[in-house]
Structure 1
Amino acid sequence: MGNIKVYFSDFFEIDEDIIEEYGAINISLINDLPLFIDPFLLFNSENPDFQKIHKEMIDYLLFLQDQAEKASKFTSGMKKAWFSFSEVKQTWLGFSLSGNDGCGMGNDFANSLYEGLNSIFKNFGKEKITKGHHMEKLCLISPRVGRDKISDFTTNFAKQYLLEYTQNFAKMYLRPEQCKEFSVGRVCFNWETTSWKAQKYYLPCYADDYVLLTPKTMLTRDDTFINRIDMIRNLQEIAPAISDDALRFELETYFREVLHKKKKELSQTEKNDTATRLIKQHPELIDYYMKYKEDNEAEATSISKEKVEEVEMLFNDQISQLVSLLNEKTEFYHRIPDAHDEAKLRVGYLKHVIEEQDGYKLFYAKGKPIKREADLQVIYRLVWYGSALDVNREVNNGRGPVDYKISYGKKNSTLVEFKLASNSKLKQNLAKQVEVYKAASETERAIKVIMFFSEKEYEKICAILNELELVSCEDIILIDARDDNKESASNVKL
C-alpha cells in the first residue's frame, strides 16, 4: 500500500504472512475491527491455555458470588476493587467506530453482575443441567449486558495470556526501537491479598501505548455463541429437552397461545418481552439453553472461524486493495486546503474507484453486499487515514451522532455521513438529520454519501430525493456498488 499505513503489519513493517503464521489477527491501528473474544470458544477449546483462562474467570466469579453473599451492601470501594473492569483497548478489537476507545463496561456491568449474583445468578457454579459454568449467563439475564461487555470482561482475564503472547511475538520478530517495556496494571488476581497486581512486559509500542495481538481462534464477530437474542429465538428448540413436565407444558403453552395464536398481533419486541418474563419466572430455562448450546458446541468453532475469515477478507484484504487503488489511481491522499472541497473530492475519488475501477467488488463478502452500515463506516474510516485532514467520528455533538467531522483547522470543517440505501430510516435521515447536525456542530456544510447495491435500491433513493426535492443537491452523492452493470476495469479509459 505504499506509504499508507493502516494495519499492524504496516506500522511495524513486518510481513503479514508472519502474523498469519503466528495465528494472530492483523489488527488495524486506525480503528477497532468488529471482532470479540468469545468465552464459549475458550470453554470449548482444546488449547489448555484457553481452558485455563476460562477456569480463572469462573473461579473469580465464584469469588465475587461469595463476597456478594457476605456483603450487607454494595459499596463503592467493593465495586471499584472487584466488580469494575476497564476495556482492554490495546487489542484494537470491539465496537468502536472511531479509534480504539469503546464505551467500556461502566457501572451498568458492575451493578448487573452484583445484582445477578444475588438473585437469578445465585446458583452459579452449582449447575446440575449443564456440564460447565458459563459467565455468559449474565447477558441472558440483563439486556444491559451485551456482547461487548461480556467480551471486555473475558479479555480482562485473557489479558495475561495476550501480554505473554504478544511479548513473545515482539521478541521474535520486531526491532528494539519498535518496542518498549510497559508496566501493565490489573494483569492477574492475587488470591491471598484479594487484589489485582501489575506486571512488566516488553511490547510493541504505538502512539506511546502498547499493542496486543490476539489469536484468531478465540475470536468471533456479531454476537457471542451464547447470547440473549439467540436464547429467546431458540426457546422452541429447547423445549423438548426439558425434563420437568410442568415446565415443558408451560413453555409449549406459551408458544401455542402467546406466539402462534397472536402471531399477527405481537411485534418482535413484544414477543421478546413476553419471553423475558417467562425466563425470569423460570430461570432454569437458562441452564437448559446453556445445555442446548453445549450439545451443539462444534458449531461455535466453525461459525467463529467463518466470521473471522469474513472480517479478514473485508477489513484487511479488500480494504488494502481499496487503499492501493485510491493511492495509485487518484489524488485521494493528497492535500487540498478546504475541508469541504477536499471531503467532497475524496468522495468523488471513492465513487470513481468503486464504480469504474472494480472497487465495488471490495464491498462484497462471499458474493453478498455489505448490509451493516457500521461496517461501511469503519471501511471509510480506514481508507481516509493518511490524509492531512482531521477525521473524527462525532459521537456526541449535542443532538446525536453523525458519521464523521472532517476538518482542517477549527473553522474549516464539514460533516460527512455514509449511509446504505437499504437503511429503513433513509428518508427521515435525509429530511431532517443533516440540518440538525449542522446547527449542533456550528458548520453550514455537510455531505451525504449513499451506497446502493441493486436497481431496486437505486429507484428507492431516486424516489426519496424527488419527494424531498433534493435531486439537484450537489452534496448528496450516490455510489453505485451494483455487481451486474459494471464494465471490466481493463476496458475503462482513465
Structure 2
Amino acid sequence: MPKSFTDEFKVDKEVFENTGALDIILDVDSNYFIDPALLRICTLPEFTKASELTEEYFSNIIVLLKHSKSLGDMYWKKADRLLTFKEIKGTCLGYSNQGTSGNAIGKELRKNILETIKELQKSGEVDPVIFELLNVFQEKVGCDRVSDLLTYILRKQIVEYNIRINNELSVPQDENGLCENPYNQTSILLLPKQILSPLPITECFDDIDFACSENERVRNEINQYFDLGERKKLTKEEIDHLLKVKIDYRNEMISSYKKIVATEYDFDNDPAGEIIWYRISKDKVNDYPLELTQPHSIEEMGTVVERICQKFKKLIEDNGLWRLLYDENKPKHETAAQLLFYGIADAYCSANNIDLSREVHNGHGPVDFKLSIGAAQKILVEIKLTSNPQLMHGLKKQLPLYMAQENTEKAIYLVIDNGHRKRLDSFQDYYNSLKTEDRKKVKYILIDGNIQESASRA
C-alpha cells in the first residue's frame, strides 16, 4: 500500500514541514525533478552553494574538451568520467525504472553529449549553463537525466541534508545517518521542495517566441534556416543545429534562460497532481466509507472490485474528485487519474483487510491494478482518459496482453470521460459490437470526469 515518509515513520507533519523536505511516497516514484534554475534560489544551508558547485562541475568538462584534440585522448576520457556515474537510488522521484547497477547516462549517450559540446566550441566559448539546457537540444536526454546528473553532483550535500533532518526528526537511522526504505531496502534521500519542480523551466525553451522574445533579427534568421510555417515549437534537432551554427541564437537563448526569475512550485495545491492524490484519497475514504466483504471466489472478488470502481465513479462525479483531474481547467496527465484511483482503491481495501497490488508495465507509474485470491484468481483494472489517443488500443491490445501475462480472464476497463466525444463514441460502438462472452471478460465502466459547473450556475 502507498505510504508517505511521515506516515511510515510516524512523524508529525507540522514538524516535518519545517525541514523543507518533500514528504515522498515510499513505494511510488513521483515525477518531480531537481530543477537547475531553482538551485540558484535555495536558502537551505546545505544547498546555498549548490548552483556554484554544478557550474564548476560543468566548467571542468568544458575545459577538458577544449584541450582534447581527438576522441578518446586523455582529456576526452577525463571529461567522459565526469559524466559517468551510477544512478543514485532513494529519492523516490523521476521516471527511471533501471536497476541500481545501470548508468544514468550510458556510454553512447555520453559520447553524443561530449561531441555536441565539442562541436559548440568550434563557434566560440561555451557557457557551462548549456548543461542545464541539455534536455532542450540533446536527443535522448530529458529532465529526468539532467536531474540524475545534478543528484550525483550534489550527493554530498543531499546526504548532509538528510543526516541533519533525520536527527531533528529522531527517526531510525543506519550507521550512515540515513533512513531505510522498507519497500526496497535502499537508503532514503529526501530532497528539499525548494529545488524540485514537476516541469523544469528549461522545458519552455523549445518555444520559438520565448527564446527570441527580445531579438527580432534572431527570429528572422531562424526562418531562413527552417520552414516553420505556423509552428511555435522547434525540434531538438533544429535547436541543436542552431546552437552550433548561430552564435547569436545561442547567446540569446542562454541570456533569456539566465534572466528567468525562478519561482518555487506550489506543493500545497500540487497542480501537476503528483502527490496530492495521497492525502486527498485518505481524506475521501474516511469521509465516504465503503464496507466490503472478504472475497472467497472469483465471482465475489469481481463484485468487490466493481463496488470499488463504482465508488470511485461516485467520488469523481458527485463528491468533487473531478477537480483533481484538472489544473486550472487544463486536463492533467492520465497518471493523475491512475494515482488517484490507486489511493482510493488501496485505502478501501486496507480498511477492509483486502490486498490490492499495483502493476507497473511502462516505468511511468501505476497503469493497471490487480486484486487476487491466491496465485490463480485475479482481476485487473485498466484506466484510460478519453483524451488519450490510445483509448481504443488499450482495449484491443494492451489489456488483452496484460490479461495474458497475468493469466486471468477477468478485467475492468475504467474510462474517464474528459471530453473528446467522437473518440468515446467510437470506443463505445466498438465495445458494444464485441461478443457477449468478451464483454463478460472485460467490463466497461464510464466515469464522467468533465469539469462541472457550480451548483448556483447549474
TM-score by length of 2: 0.78
Is 1:32 aligned to residue 26 of structure 2? Answer: no
Give the C-alpha shift of residue 462 in structure 1: 4.3
The aligned residue for residue 119 of structure 1 is 119
Distance 2:132 2:270 in 1: 23
Q: What residue is the counterpart of 2:251 in the other structure?
A: 287
Structure 1 segment 77-116 matched on structure 2, within 5 A: 81-95=81-95, 104-107=104-107, 109-116=109-116
Note the alpha carbon deviations across 1:15-57, whole angstroms, 9 max, x for none.
Answer: 2122222212111112012211101111355667535222222
The one-letter code matched in structure 1 to 2:192 is P
Alignment of 1:60-71 (within 5 A): 60-68=57-65, 69-70=67-68
| Other-structure match for 2:180 | 205
Query: Cα deviation per residue 1:202-233 (whole Å; 9 max; x = unaligned)?
Result: 122222322122111101112x2123xx2231
Alpha carbons of 1:364 and 1:442: their partners in 2 closer, same or farther (altered >3 Å)? closer
Counterpart of 2:386 in structure 1 is: 421
1 CA distance for matches of 2:24 and 2:341? 16
What are the residue-to-residue correspondences of 1:125-136 with 2, within 5 Å? 126-127=126-127, 133-136=129-132
Asked if 2 retains the 8 angstrom alpha-carbon contact of 1:170 and 1:202, the reply is yes
Distance across 2 between alignment mates of 1:124 and 1:404 = 53
- Asked if structure 2 preserves the Cα contact closer than 8 Å seen for 1:431 and 1:468, the reply is no
Say if 1:322 and 1:362, in contact at 8 Å, map to a contact too.
Answer: no
CA gap of 1:125–1:410, structure 2 versus 1, over 3 A, is farther
Give the direction of change, closer, same or farther, for the CA distance of 1:344–1:90 in structure 2 (3 Å limit).
farther
Equivalent of 1:179 in 173, 177, 196 = 173
Distance in 2 between the 1:225 and 1:118 partners?
25
Corresponding residue SS for 1:167 = helix
Could you list the per-position Cα deviations for residues 65-118 of structure 1 after superposition, in whole angstroms to 9, with x for gaps in the alignment? Answer: 344444854499869853222333311111258999999444454233332333
**1:351 and 2:310 correspond:** yes
Distance 1:15 1:346, change over 3 A: farther
Q: Aligned pair in 2 of structure 1 residues 235, 57: CA closer, same or farther (>3 Å)?
A: same
Distance 2:100 2:374 in 1: 23
Task: Say yes or no: does 1:375 pair with 2:336.
Answer: yes
From 34, 42, 47, the counterpart of 1:50? 47
Match of 1:363 among 302, 307, 324: 324
Aligned to 1:202, the other structure's residue is in SS state coil
Which residue does 1:197 correspond to in 2? Answer: none
User: Does residue 9 in structure 1 map to residue 6 in structure 2?
Assistant: yes
Task: Report the equivalent of 1:259.
Answer: 228
Distance 2:327 2:70 in 1: 55
Q: Which amino acid aligns with 1:218?
A: I
Which shows bigger deviation, 370-379 or 319-328?
A: 319-328
1:464 aligned partner, one-letter code? F
Tell me, yes or no, if structure 1 residue 393 matches structure 2 residue 363: no
Q: Which segment drifts farther, 426-435 or 468-477? A: 468-477
Q: Is the 8 A contact 1:31 1:99 kept in 2?
A: no
Q: Please say if residues 31 and 100 of structure 1, whose CA atoms lie closer than 8 Å, have aligned partners that are also in contact.
A: no
Q: CA deviation at 1:483?
A: 5.1
**Aligned residues: CA RMSD:** 4.1
CA distance in 2: counterparts of 1:438 and 1:134, whole angstroms: 46
Compare 53-62 and 353-362 and name the one that shifted more: 353-362
Question: Aligned residues, how many?
Answer: 435
Deviation at 1:423, TM superposition (A): 1.2
Tell me which of 232, 235, 249 is aligned to 2:206.
232
Q: Of 165, 190, 195, which aligns to 1:218?
A: 195
User: Hey, what does 1:241 align to over in structure 2?
Assistant: 215
- Aligned to 1:259, the other structure's residue is in SS state coil
Which amino acid is 2:319 matched to?
Answer: D
CA 1:393/1:98 → structure 2, altered by over 3 Å: closer, same or farther? farther
Q: Is the 8 A contact 1:418 1:450 kept in 2?
A: yes
In the aligned structure 2, how far is the partner of 1:378 from the partner of 1:124? 47
One-letter code aligned to 1:111: K
- Determine the C-alpha separation between the residues in 2 that align with 1:88 and 1:343: 41
8 Å Cα contact 1:94-1:102 kept in structure 2: no
Separation of aligned partners in 2, 1:154 and 1:52: 13
Q: Is the 8 A contact 1:339 1:406 kept in 2?
A: no
Match of 1:478 in 2: 446
Amino acid at match of 2:428: L
Range that drifts further, 155-164 or 90-99: 90-99
Provide structure 2 residue ranges, at least 5 long, that are not aligned to the other structure.
Answer: none
Q: Structure 1 residue 294: deviation in Å?
A: 1.8
Give deviations 1:384-425, integer Å, cap 9, x for gaps.
5555243221239xxxx9644555544333443211111123
Question: 1: distance between equivalents of 2:326 and 2:100?
Answer: 24
More strand by share: 1
Give 3-state SS (helix, strand or coil) of 1:435's partner: helix
1:137 alignment partner in structure 2 = 133
SS in 1 for 2:360: strand
Q: Which runs of 5+ in 1 are unaligned?
A: 182-200, 489-494
The AA in structure 1 aligned to 2:120 is I
Look up the match of 1:311.
270
SS in 1 for 2:179: strand
Cα separation, 2, equivalents of 1:462 and 1:89: 44
